[in-house]
Amino acid sequence: MKTAQTILSVSHRTTYRYSTFVETAQHLATIRPLECEWQRVISHEETIEPQPSYLHSRVDAFGNDVLYFTLDAPHERLQMISETTVELTPRWTKLDPDTTPAWDEVAEALRFRVGGEFRPEVEFCFASPNIALRPALRAYALPSFAPGTPIAAGAIDLMHRIYHDFDYKPSATMFDTPAERAFELKSGVCQDFAQVMIGCLRSLGLPARYVSGYLRNDPPPGQPRLIGADASHAWVSVHCPGSGWIDLDPTNDVLADMDHVTLAIGRDYSDVSLLRGMILGGGAHRVEVGVSVLPL
């Protein structure tokens, strides 16, 4: 069992190159890693070129630190560089999946009742822009969740099945592919694996959220290199009473721990995409991404 803390250096460079000049642009960027119980941000710097005419930071509804910036001068290239150092603490030293509450009891407790207690995790039980709650997702999830199955044990079994049943194919989907389509294809990238698993959990009435972040590039000796380690990554977080949010990475079939740097959380990819907004002009564009996550 891992016991020591780990310090990781994260470098993320994203470059947009446009075929014609962008006259003006307004963007939201999610590039500042979260402060969590298991993750301490030691330092963080970001650089945006060209220099924004207006730059403002705000905390969104999910607790993410989001940048809003405006570019008023014509430009053919936009580059964002994020340099971060984080300290990670082991998260699962006391987790026993088989002793967590029964999933059906958890789902029943979250059902709406007049005058009932509000639980903040319930907002992650519903459909979201990229994740519709379809009967097919519920049917796929149920073999992992027999009546009385501990919620963490069922979620881990579901993660195992998605890992084995789905193919990692970067060309199979796009950034806006909904979970339903990725489920039909049984292929995609980390974003698709995560959104399919979230849809399965929510279809059972369980709270599950989308986590974006990074993977360590060089694994410790004797451990395999994780899939998706050269770009931003995504995984799933399911809420378990008594244990809090449990993070599962269906792309790599592991619990997210000392190799995973948490960037942001949301309902699905649309809440935490690296860059979103509006531009005037620009024509076609191409994107270049480079990510490095190394121990210090």
Convert the pLDDT of each residue in 230-256 to its tens digit. Answer: 778 999 999 999 999 999 999 999 999
Token code pair at residue 189: 């990238």
pLDDT band at 218 (very low <50, low <70, confident <90, very high): confident
Please calculate the CA angle 54-268-140 and round it to the nearest 5 degrees. 170
Q: What is the mean pLDDT of residues 24-47?
A: 95
Asked, for residue 1, whether it belongs to a domain, the answer is: no
State which residues form the domain around 250: 97-272
Q: How far apart are the first and last CA of the chain?
A: 21
Q: What is the CATH number of the domain that holds 281?
A: 2.60.40.2250
Pick the range with the lowest mean pLDDT from 25-39, 122-136, 181-195, 225-239.
225-239
d(CA 262, CA 19): 33
d(CA 296, CA 291): 16
d(CA 6, CA 13): 23
Q: What is the pLDDT of residue 220?
A: 64
The percent of residues above 70 in pLDDT, for the chain, comes to 96
Token code pair at residue 223: 């451990």
Token code pair at residue 248: 């599962």
Are residue 69 and residue 173 in the same domain, yes or no? no
Q: How many domains does the chain have?
A: 2
Are residue 192 and residue 244 in the same domain, yes or no? yes
Are residue 72 and residue 125 in the same domain, yes or no? no
Q: Which helix (H) or strand (E) holds 168?
A: strand 167-168
Of 275, 189, 195, the C-alpha closest to 237 is: 195
Q: Distances in Å between the alpha carbon of 182 and those of 111, 137, 145, 162, 291?
A: 28, 11, 22, 12, 25
Percent helix, strand and coil across the chain, each rounded to 5?
A: 20, 40, 35
Convert the pLDDT of each residue in 51-101 to its tens digit. Answer: 999 999 999 999 999 999 999 999 999 999 999 999 999 999 889 999 999
Q: What is the CATH number of the domain that holds 168?
A: 3.10.620.30
Q: What is the mean pLDDT of residues 119-125?
A: 94
Pick the range with the lowest mean pLDDT from 114-128, 189-203, 231-245.
114-128
Q: What is the pLDDT of residue 93?
A: 87
Are residue 282 and residue 237 in the same domain, yes or no? no
Q: What is the pLDDT of residue 1?
A: 44
pTM tops 0.75: yes
Residue 268 has pLDDT above 70, yes or no: yes
